[in-house]
Amino acid sequence: MSLLNRTAGALYRRPRLRLSLLLTAPLLWLAVLYLGSLSVLFVSAFWTTNSFTSEVVKVWSTDNFHELFTVPVYRQVILRSIGVALSVTVLCAVIAFPLAFYTARVAKPSRRPLLVVAILTPLWASYLVKVYAWRLILSQGGLADWMLKPFGLSGPGFGLPAAVLTLTYLWLPYMVLPIHTALEQLPANLLDASADLGARAGRTFRSVVLPMVLPSVAAGSIFTFSLSLGDYITVQIVGGKTQLIGNLVYSNIELNLPMAAALGTVPVVVIVVYLLAMRRTGALSSL
């Protein structure tokens, strides 16, 4: 019997060995590279730097976290970032729902795949190209100004609203897709039953459609929320002078790595809290 056959036989007889051989590589990846880097991030947040050379000094101290909670500018920026992430999420949900309803239930079934592709096309273009396009749209005398001029208004210019608007555009497909899927799977007979029982469209929406689709909205919101919370490039390009957490991390990374790490743990904590909250809606099972 060849070595290959014998090995195969041994593996067949020992399911545990088989399993451990199969899982070692991915588990190592998860534990060492993924969780490992996260924990290094967390641990290094407790170190300090040599102020002359900017080299990391491995001495335990909680100064960075103390600063994080006591310096007003950090608190402000953290709250602003969470605010941006929440508003992007709400805007995405509000825009995505009717859009997904159309693509999943109103449009002709033969056209639906095409519409889904159309929703996905922006994801094929480079992130930077899209954000710079928005910079042109929102700049003075740009498309936004030109369109609002007949109404005596002007565009928002660069700033926080511009950043929220651009992020909403960027992450919208991530919200549309889960809602589209949920609406598509909604059994038609439930809607019929609701109508048979005398419910009007509004009532059907509130009592039948919304409860069934809500977990998908929550699932989409996990994408939009976490992607917005971590973004720092969009806000640099269209955000005017606005700073978000990502910008603070970026500005500290060269000179004060431990402070950057301390700032970096903030979005991690916020997102863990957000995920726990979303788990209660059942969103994680509809991802």
Q: E-strand spans in the chain? A: 48-49, 56-57
104 vs 162 by CB, closer to another protein: 162
105 vs 135 by CB, closer to another protein: 135
Closest distance to another protein from the beta carbon of 245 (Å):
12
Closest distance to another protein from the beta carbon of 259 (Å):
9
78 vs 100 by CB, closer to another protein: 78
**Which residues would be at the binding site for another protein (CB under 8 A)?**
49-55, 71, 73, 76, 135-136, 139-142, 157-158, 236-237, 239-241, 243, 248, 251-252, 254-256
Other Cβ atoms within 10 Å of 18 Cβ, number: 13
Closest distance to another protein from the beta carbon of 248 (Å):
6
For residues 62 and 259, give the distance between their C-alpha atoms in angstroms, rounded to a whole number: 10
Closest distance to another protein from the beta carbon of 51 (Å):
5
251 vs 265 by CB, closer to another protein: 251
41 vs 133 by CB, closer to another protein: 133
Instruction: Mention every residue, 6+ apart, whose C-beta is less than 8 A from residue 168.
Output: 88, 91, 92, 95
- Provide the token pair at 147: 């369109």
- Provide the token pair at 7: 């090995």
Instruction: Mention every residue, 6+ apart, whose C-beta is less than 8 A from residue 153.
Output: none
101 vs 232 by CB, closer to another protein: 232
Q: E-strand spans in 46-195? A: 48-49, 56-57
Instruction: Mention every residue, 6+ apart, whose C-beta is less than 8 A from residue 227.
Output: 167, 170, 171, 174
Closest distance to another protein from the beta carbon of 210 (Å):
39
- Provide the token pair at 20: 């451990």
Closest distance to another protein from the beta carbon of 270 (Å):
19
37 vs 140 by CB, closer to another protein: 140
196 vs 254 by CB, closer to another protein: 254
Closest distance to another protein from the beta carbon of 44 (Å):
16
Alpha helix segments (H runs only) across 186-244: 188-196, 201-204, 210-230, 233-238
Closest distance to another protein from the beta carbon of 235 (Å):
10
Q: Are 102 and 179 in contact (CB under 8 A)?
A: no
Torsions phi, psi of 159, nearest 5? 160, -165
Q: Are 225 and 273 in contact (CB under 8 A)?
A: no
